[in-house]
Amino acid sequence: MTATRVYHALIAIRGCWIFAEWLLGWGVYSHVSLFRSTHPYAALTGDAIAVAFWLAILAGMWFFQRWARLIFIVLLAVALLTSPFRVHRYSLSSPPSFVAPVSVLMLLITGAILTMSFLSPVRDCFARKEA
């Protein structure tokens, strides 16, 4: 397998997990808050927009768009810098037991996507913009 195919596979896996996590209400989408309780459709719409945004960024990275790589880096940096200050919220129902290990695996995949996008030969594809 070439590095480009591995990169595409990692992006596909990450995108599928983001969508599955939102669709099944696991992870970040399972938290209960006052806003979710009083405005459930607004919260659902906001979550759908966020997931669509992440999937659009991953699609841009799939096609080696430099803007997608830049936004991906900025969002990961913001998430890293704000993570110590985020409040951990609990959900009313716990997700299945495999969600936590898979979430850790997704963090590793996200790191691999970030790393591969700056190493050759994938970096060269961003310069040439070839699929």
- Confidence (pLDDT) at 28: 66
Task: Evaluate whether 113 touches 11 at the Cβ level (below 8 Å).
Answer: yes
Q: What is the pLDDT of residues 31-79, one digit of tens each?
A: 666 666 677 788 788 888 999 999 999 999 999 999 999 999 999 999 8
| Cα–Cα distance, 70 to 131 (Å, whole number) | 18
Task: Evaluate whether 61 touches 68 at the Cβ level (below 8 Å).
Answer: yes
- Confidence (pLDDT) at 78: 93
- Confidence (pLDDT) at 51: 92
DSSP state of 93: S
Domain boundary assignment for the chain: 3-128
